Structure 1
């Protein structure tokens, strides 16, 4: 069984290549994704279908420009893994370019929960809209 850091690295690598199916294969069937803020995508998403729908919505309204990339080493504390990253996108005349942290909980070789943190939540909320 892969260790927590290896699971998150495999997820991030697959996502970076656009291989959503492989990335999502690292999720537990009951994974919960906590999207922060007060925008159209905010709130807890249960299961990979709901998460996929949310990410698909982000890609749709940003016309495929939404992207994220790790910016530093992963940090591990037991079954928790923090990944510093940068995320960018464009919607019409609005641009998004900020730092964030994604925090993953990994149990029995699968990601069971994800919490996202944005450098400027108000700016991110304004970007995504309601």
Structure 2
């Protein structure tokens, strides 16, 4: 049984993110891709456009001194342009660390990512981490 193309696309994205390969990651997104990060922290919000999404990712790496990493647990597709992932993410800021389960909901159009909604296990803890001095 071969992997569904949407699942393969998402796995390529996680791999590129993990390597800090923003060029490859950007090539998987539509130019008007949107990313929605929950909560009310300094990084929460809606990011519209591939360049803005990639800038957000760069900022997350910058805020964590490059310590941000994500371990993919699974990718689930519906065959109609949606993929859902489960993962665990880890990061450090100064003397504070975080380890949390989460996931992403992808909308895929024509083999490219058009929208990403992030979900986290604990929004308050996530906000506290991103807003902590660092």
Is the contact between residue 31 and residue 112 of structure 1 (CA under 8 Å) also seen in structure 2? yes
Q: Does residue 75 of the first structure (1) align with residue 76 of the second (2)? A: yes
Q: Does residue 43 of the first structure (1) align with residue 42 of the second (2)? A: no
Pairwise CA distance, 1:99: 0.3
TM superposition score normalised by structure 2: 0.89
CA distance in 1, matches of 2:19, 2:58: 16
Could you say what secondary structure the match of 1:63 adopts? coil
Pairwise CA distance, 1:6: 2.1
What residue ranges of structure 2 are gaps of 5+ in the alignment? none
Equivalent residue for 1:65?
Answer: 67
CA distance in 2, matches of 1:6, 1:117: 21
Equivalent residue for 2:18?
Answer: 16
- The count of corresponding residues between Structure 1 and Structure 2 is 128
Is the contact between residue 35 and residue 42 of structure 1 (CA under 8 Å) also seen in structure 2? yes
Further displaced range: 13-22 or 83-92: 13-22
CA distance in 1, matches of 2:56, 2:6: 24
Is the contact between residue 64 and residue 93 of structure 2 (CA under 8 Å) also seen in structure 1? yes
Is the contact between residue 40 and residue 127 of structure 2 (CA under 8 Å) also seen in structure 1? yes
TM superposition score normalised by structure 1: 0.92
The match for 2:114 among 88, 112, 115 is 112
Residues 16-35 of structure 1: pairs in structure 2 closer than 5 A: 16-35=18-37
What residue ranges of structure 1 are gaps of 5+ in the alignment? none
Is the contact between residue 4 and residue 107 of structure 1 (CA under 8 Å) also seen in structure 2? no
Could you say what secondary structure the match of 2:66 adopts? coil
Is the contact between residue 81 and residue 105 of structure 1 (CA under 8 Å) also seen in structure 2? yes
Say what the alpha-carbon RMSD is for the aligned residues.
1.5
